[in-house]
Chains A and B, each alone.
Chain A
Amino acid sequence: MFKILDTYELGPRMHYVLMDAPLIARKAQAGQFVIVRVSEKGERIPLTIADYDRAQGTVTLVFQEAGKTTCALGAMKKGDSLHDLLGPQGNPTETEKFGHAVVIGGGIGVAPVYPLARALKEKGNKVTSIIGYRSKEHIFWEDKMRAVSDQLIIATNDGSYGRKGFVTDMLKGLMDSNEKVDIVFAIGPAVMMKAVCDMTKPAGIKTIVSLNSLMVCGMGMCGACRVSVGEKTKFTCMDGPDFDGHQVDFALLMKRLETYKSEECSCQGGVHGGR
């Protein structure tokens, strides 16, 4: 059993969970994920590692209620335990000194962007962070993001905080300002990552995305997480989750994310196995 050391709401249906997981914390790196199973009859779902503390032996998970498992996880309290926790899975995000790195996080995707921005900063990059939320009440980790960014741009869809618009509008503004961008990292809903890639591809800016495929095993066995990258079938859990965004078939990814839409249960608006 894996103990929840702390948990609180980050915003509407958005949660922070601090897990006691020394073995995972020891190895975790930005870009990796865990497989969570809440209860004996629960499904296995991947959640990105939003932060880790090797000394304390903890990992931080941040997620949005989207299906049965995330709703159950959201209802858990400090002191409760998860049935199963496996990790760290997947390949860490490759960071080096690129120059000017732009990291883009959409909604709950801001959480995994945080350790990435921190790692990029540590490698000596100039880091511009663009983080987008639905509205003011959905905003979290503004201070944390500011601490690891040279420049922080906050956008809300409704303009209730920061600038009004989507993260792509902010990226466009940045690109139009003639500021040289050496690399872009985008983590968020598939549709957002696709929009970012559509914008950076013509400009020839290398863009890395973190794919949120459905998974079952999460350890290179079942093949549930397959995606098409550069017209080749790849497995998110073994070959990813990071891929060259310009090579990803986002239309296929979005279709596959809807595979179990008709099996949705109790929690409205969610899909099974989603991240």
Chain B
Amino acid sequence: MAVDKKAVPMREQPVHERIRNFNEVPLGYSEEEALREASRCMQCSKKPCVDGCPVHIDIPAFIKALREKDFQKGIDILHANDSLPCITGRVCPQEEQCQAVCVMKKMGDPISIGRLERFLADRDMQNRVQGKAPRPPAVAKKNKKVAVVGSGPAGVTCAAELAKKGYAVTVFEGYHKLGGVLVYGIPEFRLPKAIVETEIRLLEELGVTFVTNALIGRAMTIEELMKDGYAAVFVGAGAGLPNFMGIPGENLNGVYSANEFLTRVNLMKAYLFPDYDTPVKRGKNVAVVGGGNVAMDSARTALRLGADRVFLIYRRSEKEMPARAEEIERAREEGIDFRFLTNTVRYIGGADGFVKQVECVKMELGAPDASGRRSPVPVPGSEFTIDIDEAIVAIGNTPNPIIPRTTPGLKIKKRGEIEADDDGRTSIPGVFAGGDIVTGAATVITAMGAGRKSAQAIDNYLTAQK
């Protein structure tokens, strides 16, 4: 039988509708679509996809189970390496990971591994919510407490794994809501918040305790947690203060960091203002600066808030953009105006203190820099201005500064990251760390992988202690 070279497409909200709402864009596979896509997998013996996955999910095995309609076996295979497949099925950059190395790519489209993962995970979540999924086997309780700092992907994964091993886990979150970047950073149209809430509720059922409004480093230090009887601490404190370029006018009204803009819209639900109390500026002509996923999220959010034009200003060319190809494509479909090889020089404000224009300069690519990407250099005399009433600066952030500043003896790297080995061990015995606080800005799956590895290392550490 000839294998279909084309992947089964996933239904999506049409462009003209979705640019005016915050609902999820891709709608998921039906069972029939999932089976059809799964049937394209050659079940090759080399399995390059497994190595392409940062957490080494046995991808051909879960696809085989799906194909055989043994959905429970499929989800069990996913869960063996990935605690939150509903989330990774949506936000993982599969096209750069598992799907990039799929052998089918030589003949046509790679297998849509992320979509198949999402199909199984969504089905499983529905079952679990309705109490139809088998309960996880009861584990013997270990009489040891572990504290997890931060409820983002690293912290939640670490907590889930430790709870499964029988530890009494308490997760401390500074915000009033759980989920970290999954709730304050990633927009509703890419990751519905109801999914994050359900995953966390199911973790509570597993016995994990969550405490909100508890910022470790201020209300309590790591030292105090350990004195309080926590035998180990995992720090997944995530992102910190936003970077700015240091150009004139960046503090004008209407110039946001992407962190602030997305936090207002996602966590505080400013898109529902005035039903919700937190406001956000709804610019008509918006400049977004940067080329990563956060820049794409900001641009598409600004559009949904009612912008007429959204300019995406990036200093290199499209090829160097760190954002997912899929997100760039969706942004383009939605009408984001990409300005490649362009950099911002200054923001120009009016007498009212609000930004009115951004001055830009054209760039050209020179020699490769430390990151291996060709570094952009300004073209003299190519300055021009764009009229704007809002700007969003999405050029990354430093690791969260609170734990590094309040934990004596914790070794910190030059740019503020916590120093930790591959298993998350820090310079303080019993204190582990993972996610963006260790690596700097990375992906959800990388953070989850770190949380899982640390959970294992914590288990080893506490077992050896006896």
Interface residues in A254-272 (C-beta closer than 8 Å to B): 255-256, 258-260, 263, 265, 272
Mask: chain B, 234-276; 1 = CB below 8 Å from A; 0 = not = 0000011110101000111110110110011000110001111
Most buried by A among B213, B264, B268: B213
Cα separation A132 to B458 with both chains bound (whole Å): 56
Q: Which of A44, A219, A226, A258 contacts B215 (CB 8 A)?
A: A219
**A41 & B251 in contact (Cβ 8 Å cutoff):** no
CB distance from B258 to the nearest CB of A (A): 9
Q: Which of A89, A222, A238 contacts B401 (CB 8 A)?
A: A238
Q: Given A233-B250, A272-B278, A43–B268 Cβ distance below 8 Å?
A: yes
Q: Which of A69, A83, A222, A256 contacts B257 (CB 8 A)?
A: A222
Q: Which of A84, A221, A226 contacts B251 (CB 8 A)?
A: A226
Whether A188 is near chain B, meaning CB under 8 Å from some CB there, is: no
**B219 & A221 in contact (Cβ 8 Å cutoff):** no
Residues of B within 8 A of A (CB-CB), count: 43
B264 proximity list for chain A (CB < 8 A): 216
CB distance from A256 to the nearest CB of B (A): 6
Whether B212 is near chain A, meaning CB under 8 Å from some CB there, is: yes
Mask: chain A, 206-233; 1 = CB below 8 Å from B; 0 = not = 0000000000110111111011100001
B189 proximity list for chain A (CB < 8 A): none
Q: Which residue of chain B is the closest to A38 with respect to CB atoms?
A: B277
**B213 & A263 in contact (Cβ 8 Å cutoff):** no
Q: Which residue of chain B is the closest to A39 with respect to CB atoms?
A: B277
Cα separation A37 to B174 with both chains bound (whole Å): 13
A68 proximity list for chain B (CB < 8 A): 277
Residues of A within 8 A of B (CB-CB), count: 42
**A69 & B259 in contact (Cβ 8 Å cutoff):** no
**A256 & B242 in contact (Cβ 8 Å cutoff):** no
Which secondary structure dominates chain B's binding surface? loop
Whether B413 is near chain A, meaning CB under 8 Å from some CB there, is: no
**A235 & B241 in contact (Cβ 8 Å cutoff):** yes
Q: Which residue of chain B is the closest to A217 with respect to CB atoms?
A: B263
Mask: chain A, 27-38; 1 = CB below 8 Å from B; 0 = not = 100000000010
Q: Given A41-B269, A44-B268, A252-B251, A88–B219 Cβ distance below 8 Å?
A: yes
Whether A42 is near chain B, meaning CB under 8 Å from some CB there, is: yes
A69 proximity list for chain B (CB < 8 A): 277
Q: Which of B241, B251, B269, B273 contacts A263 (CB 8 A)?
A: B273
Q: Given A27-B218, A88-B219, A258-B353, A220–B278 Cβ distance below 8 Å?
A: no
**A41 & B260 in contact (Cβ 8 Å cutoff):** no
Whether B10 is near chain A, meaning CB under 8 Å from some CB there, is: no
Q: Given A68-B277, A219-B402, A86–B239 Cβ distance below 8 Å?
A: no
CB distance from A230 to the nearest CB of B (A): 14
CB distance from B356 to the nearest CB of A (A): 14
**A42 & B277 in contact (Cβ 8 Å cutoff):** yes
Q: Which of A42, A86, A273 contacts B174 (CB 8 A)?
A: A86
A228 proximity list for chain B (CB < 8 A): 251
Whether B22 is near chain A, meaning CB under 8 Å from some CB there, is: no
Whether A87 is near chain B, meaning CB under 8 Å from some CB there, is: yes
**B259 & A221 in contact (Cβ 8 Å cutoff):** yes
**A223 & B257 in contact (Cβ 8 Å cutoff):** yes
Could you write out 7 A-B pairs with CB less than 8 Å apart? A37-B176, A84-B213, A86-B176, A216-B260, A216-B263, A217-B263, A263-B279
Which 5 A/B pairs are nearest by Cβ-Cβ distance? A255-B353, A223-B257, A263-B279, A84-B176, A222-B260
